[in-house]
Chains A and B, each alone.
Chain A
Amino acid sequence: MKVGRIITYTFLILITMPIILLYVLLFLQSISTRLDGIIPRGFTLSNWEFLSTGDIIIPGTTFSYYPNLYLVLGNTFLLAILIALLEVVFSSLAGYALSRYRFRGRSKLLTLTIILHAFPGITLLIALFYVLNALKLYNTLTGVIIVKVALDLPLGIWIMKGFFDSVPWDIEMSALVDGTTRLGAWWRVIMPNVRNGLMAVLIFGFLSGWSEFIYVLTFIASQDYWTLSMLVYALTTGEYSYINPGVTATVAIIYMIPVVIFFLFAQKYLLRIQIAAKGV
């Protein structure tokens, strides 16, 4: 019994160690002049100094091949918040209709939602490129936002429908009998009862937009519209990660801030999202 417990803990610690080490290294990298494995040699704050202007200058030159950090940060935030808001509004409207209305094609629509939810949207990249180009939305943040919302919606609708299903009919019934309109009942009576669902979709949408990489890489050509994923990618693949990994680490840490906040304070939503979300 006791031996079994020791083996279990040893297994858990060993297998989880890579995750802990990777994130500790990221932090140490940003405040050390050099790292030997996980042992920092020399403390420095110089990797954080570029935050005063946001310009990432190649050491030894006066150039910056990269867009200003604050421009990129602004783009990323705009992208994430708009995706989150659109997903919340659209999915709570559609989720309500699918949960409460009886209409022709309802079950077909639900089947479609589930199929699309399981369907890997990433395979549609070429066709999406064609559509965005035809609509003159190539190289715009709007294009990326629309594509993300469309591909995330089946999941959002599915989550919201589940929450609406769990709100008792009687509440709505009494509101309607008292003379509220259906839209009024939805807004004043039902929506306050599905706050958890709204939060889950909002956080999912925000993180999904905040982290988005492939669609930005493919649909954005100009550095003016870069998001943090592109900046980190460029810093990683370019020579810069070798010249000055500390600055790359600092950018990556800033990129991680909302993720860490949600990780620490919104675990119950994250768990719910992870079950519903897809990915590798």
Chain B
Amino acid sequence: MATLTTLRIRRKVFKGYLAVFLIPSLTFIAVFFLLPVILTFLIGLTDMDYSFKWNWIWLDNYIKILSDRWAYKIMMNTFFYVFSTLTFFNVGLALLISIATTHVNELVGSAFRALWLLPRITPSTVYALLWLWAARGEEYSLFNWILGFFGFKPIDWRLTHPWLIVILVNGFVGTSFGMIIFTAALKSIPEDYIRAAKVDGASTLQIIRHIELPLIKWPLLFVTAYQTLSLFTSYEYILLVTNGGPGLYTTEVWALYSYHLAFAQYGGIVKFGYGAALATILVIIGIIMSIIYLKMFRFSELMTEPKIEVV
């Protein structure tokens, strides 16, 4: 058994291990996460193209955004996309499903919730493919086939209702995040509250309205805040399903516009500078909102000091 003195002597040596523990992660995060944050901001001040030359034009890109005839439309698209997906799916449907699945048989409820996880863990390209097939214009595609029974004529849903498809595709993925959090919160409500209400003769709807909903106020706020940021910066599924179309920028959102400018310009004109300026705005929104979560949801409580420092 080691004596107290040897423990003290070892302390210095052991502190040295701290570097071993931290350096791999810190190096990766510094070079491929923190540095890119700074670079995004800096590249946004240049008119960099594929030659990667640092030609400083300072705030010209931002002035250009103001006169960009598409920027306003794309900004409005982004708000519409975030608001609709959030209201109908990521918060709305998520809440409905978690209430419904916690009020039925436990096993059946969790089976339904498991199914809702499937879209999220399916590779995005496969998941988008499934919807693209279902929404195709032929009369035997899933949508048209079902609606055919009600006498509807076959239409190409992606061309005629692009926003509907974009919101459905994103919504069916986005619902599961809120669903899991709300379900956990609902399950943690003490059984006594519900029982007491039942004894007093409250109906299920009254219990939901006056007991369950008020008690999951914080999870509701958390999911809303968190998913707003996710939706603002996400564009993967839109790229896969409509790629911003049909036509000019019909379903283009801010993050996708930045991507298109940098990597998918017609005629191969690469606008890293302008794209980075657009991305910088998202980066700033991202940083501000991340800090808000940190303050609002008291993450600091999770950061208490280690109880004892052994050596």
Q: Which of B61-69, B138-146, B155-163, B189-197 contacts A (4 or more CB under 8 A)?
A: B138-146
Asked if B211 is an interface residue, CB under 8 A from chain A, the answer is no
CA–CA, A11 to B99, complex, Å?
A: 12
CB atoms of A114 and B294 under 8 A apart = yes
Given that A126-B43, A131-B39, A147-B32 are contacting pairs, would A182 and B17 also be in contact in the complex, using a CB cutoff of 8 Å? yes
Asked if A22 is an interface residue, CB under 8 A from chain B, the answer is yes
CB atoms of B128 and A236 under 8 A apart = yes
**Which residues from A are CB-within-8-Å of B184?**
275
Can you list 6 pairs linking A and B with CB atoms under 8 Å apart? Answer: A1-B204, A127-B276, A128-B32, A150-B32, A229-B124, A259-B122
Q: How many whole Å from B289's CB to the nearest CB in chain A?
A: 7
Q: How many whole Å from B238's CB to the nearest CB in chain A?
A: 10
CA–CA, A146 to B35, complex, Å?
A: 14
**Which residues from B are CB-within-8-Å of A91?**
25
Given that A126-B43, A126-B262, A146-B32 are contacting pairs, would A275 and B117 also be in contact in the complex, using a CB cutoff of 8 Å? no
**Quick one: which of B20, B96, B130 contacts A22, CB cutoff 8 A?**
B130
Closest 6 CB pairs of A and B: A37-B145, A150-B32, A127-B36, A127-B39, A97-B21, A120-B233
Given that A127-B36, A176-B311, A278-B230 are contacting pairs, would A93 and B21 also be in contact in the complex, using a CB cutoff of 8 Å? yes
The residue of chain A having its C-beta at the shortest distance from the C-beta of B130 within the complex is A22
Given that A130-B272, A178-B1, A182-B17 are contacting pairs, would A173 and B310 also be in contact in the complex, using a CB cutoff of 8 Å? yes
Q: Which of B83-109 contact A (CB under 8 A)?
A: 85, 90, 93, 96-97, 100-101, 103-104
CB atoms of A90 and B123 under 8 A apart = no
Asked if B218 is an interface residue, CB under 8 A from chain A, the answer is no
Q: How many whole Å from B51's CB to the nearest CB in chain A?
A: 11
The residue of chain A having its C-beta at the shortest distance from the C-beta of B262 within the complex is A126
CB atoms of B289 and A118 under 8 A apart = yes
B30-43, CB under 8 A of A: which get 1 and which 0? Answer: 01110111111001
CB atoms of B114 and A267 under 8 A apart = yes
A205-234, CB under 8 A of B: which get 1 and which 0? Answer: 001001101100010000000001110110
CB atoms of B140 and A151 under 8 A apart = no
The residue of chain A having its C-beta at the shortest distance from the C-beta of B24 within the complex is A90
**Quick one: which of A111, A125, A181, A256 contacts B279, CB cutoff 8 A?**
A125
B112-154, CB under 8 A of A: which get 1 and which 0? Answer: 1011111111111110111111100000111001101000000
Asked if A179 is an interface residue, CB under 8 A from chain B, the answer is yes
The residue of chain A having its C-beta at the shortest distance from the C-beta of B236 within the complex is A214
CB atoms of A118 and B226 under 8 A apart = yes
Q: Which of B240-276 contact A (CB under 8 A)?
A: 240, 255, 258-259, 262-263, 272, 275-276
CA–CA, A278 to B173, complex, Å?
A: 11
Which range holds the interface residue count of chain A? 35 or more
Q: How many whole Å from A119's CB to the nearest CB in chain B?
A: 5
Q: Which of A130-174 contact B (CB under 8 A)?
A: 130-131, 133-134, 146-147, 149-151, 153-154, 157, 169, 172-173
CA–CA, A182 to B276, complex, Å?
A: 44
CA–CA, A183 to B14, complex, Å?
A: 8
Asked if B9 is an interface residue, CB under 8 A from chain A, the answer is no
CB atoms of A146 and B311 under 8 A apart = no
Q: Which of A12-45 contact B (CB under 8 A)?
A: 12, 15-16, 18-23, 25-26, 29, 34-38
Asked if A123 is an interface residue, CB under 8 A from chain B, the answer is yes
**Which residues from A are CB-within-8-Å of B77?**
none
Asked if A121 is an interface residue, CB under 8 A from chain B, the answer is yes
Q: How many whole Å from B2's CB to the nearest CB in chain A?
A: 5
CB atoms of B263 and A157 under 8 A apart = no
CA–CA, A35 to B136, complex, Å?
A: 13
The interface on chain B, measured as residues whose beta carbon lies within 8 A of the other chain's beta carbons, has a size of 117
**Which residues from B are CB-within-8-Å of A52?**
none
CB atoms of B37 and A124 under 8 A apart = yes
CB atoms of B129 and A278 under 8 A apart = no
**Quick one: which of A213, A214, A270, A278 contacts B226, CB cutoff 8 A?**
A278
Asked if A191 is an interface residue, CB under 8 A from chain B, the answer is no
**Which residues from B are CB-within-8-Å of A120?**
229-230, 232-234, 282, 286
Asked if A78 is an interface residue, CB under 8 A from chain B, the answer is no
CA–CA, A54 to B93, complex, Å?
A: 42
Asked if A89 is an interface residue, CB under 8 A from chain B, the answer is yes
**Quick one: which of A1, A102, A228 contacts B309, CB cutoff 8 A?**
A102
CB atoms of B130 and A151 under 8 A apart = no
CB atoms of A126 and B290 under 8 A apart = no
**Which residues from A are CB-within-8-Å of B119?**
19
Asked if A8 is an interface residue, CB under 8 A from chain B, the answer is yes
CA–CA, A10 to B93, complex, Å?
A: 15
**Which residues from B are CB-within-8-Å of A123?**
40, 233, 255, 258, 279, 282-283, 286
- Tell which of B126, B141, B177, B300 has the most Cβ of chain A within 10 Å: B126
CB atoms of B180 and A274 under 8 A apart = yes
- Tell which of B115, B119, B146, B181 has the most Cβ of chain A within 10 Å: B115
**Which residues from B are CB-within-8-Å of A37?**
140-142, 145-146, 148
Asked if B214 is an interface residue, CB under 8 A from chain A, the answer is no
B287-309, CB under 8 A of A: which get 1 and which 0? Answer: 10111011000011011011111
CB atoms of B121 and A153 under 8 A apart = no
**Which residues from A are CB-within-8-Å of B146?**
37
The residue of chain A having its C-beta at the shortest distance from the C-beta of B82 within the complex is A280
CA–CA, A182 to B289, complex, Å?
A: 38
CB atoms of A107 and B303 under 8 A apart = yes
CB atoms of B237 and A280 under 8 A apart = yes
